Amino acid sequence: MNDIDRAFNFLPYLRDVPDFAALADEPARFIAGGSQLRTATRGQIICEKGSRPSGFQCLLKGGIKLAALSPLGAERVLDILQPGRVFGVAAILLDEPCPVFAESICESRILVVGRERIQTAIAEWPEVAAVMLKLVAGDVHRLVHDLEACCLMSARQRLADFLIKQGRCSSDAGDRAVVVLPAAKALIASNLNISAETFSRELHELAHRGLVEIERRTILIPSLDCLAAFVFDDPIAERSTVQASTAVAAG
């Protein structure tokens, strides 16, 4: 397949990635022309730690975990990527080995943008450089937030923070949200730096207080505001929680 065919075939996939959706046609076609589509099965390693990836990767479908391994083989999940996320940008820009490994947690489809192609595009079009800068800045912002959560939040607060962020993304309107957990509870627990047992215990404690309802991997949150207020120590939280739960039951 030549560059023209790739550009025609892969441009719609590139447009599905939010950070590239508004890019002008000329640089978008150029980037798509240096891309390739790959699929991954559950458990397949996408990128080994220490490897030099051929390009950065855009997740179109499925799920990817980014994780680190200790010298003794203990695993810590650093991020769980959902469709629309991009990974491997820093390694490409720095021309450094990948500091973590990436593994598909379910059937996944990925668009890989070649290193040389994106470097040429950055030099040619300032708007491409701006997109790449935004991607790196987003990664830094998430890492700072995760570090803050790990150092300053309790296990319950970390869980609530995760649910609230997922709920804000999934809720089209209003304070009510339905969250479908993007991965197994053990993976999410590792990402939150808590044990799987602690994750389950705290989740069921929130359910006991009427702040969430659990149905397998689906979590119903009657009120995102009440969940946030209760977990982050608002003095009126418990009273608001009881009122919200009563209103939901009555409805």
pLDDT value of residue 70: 85
- Per-residue pLDDT tens listing for the chain (251 residues): 778 888 989 999 999 999 999 999 999 999 999 999 999 999 999 999 999 989 999 999 999 999 998 888 889 999 999 999 999 999 999 999 999 999 999 999 999 999 999 999 999 999 999 999 999 999 999 999 999 999 999 999 999 999 999 998 876 667 899 999 999 999 999 999 999 999 999 999 999 999 999 998 999 999 999 999 988 865 444 444 334 434 434 44
pLDDT value of residue 172: 67
pLDDT value of residue 245: 39
pLDDT value of residue 171: 62
Nearest to 163 by CA among 209, 221, 208: 221
The contacts of residue 18 (CB under 8 Å, 6+ apart) are: 84
pLDDT value of residue 243: 43
pLDDT value of residue 237: 41
Q: How far apart are CA 126 and CA 86, in angstroms?
A: 19
Q: How far apart are CA 50 and CA 14, in angstroms?
A: 27
Q: How far apart are CA 238 and CA 80, in angstroms?
A: 31
pLDDT value of residue 233: 67
Q: At what angle do helices 196-208 and 155-170 cross, to 10 degrees?
A: 70
pTM score of the predicted model:
0.85
pLDDT value of residue 169: 82
pLDDT value of residue 168: 86
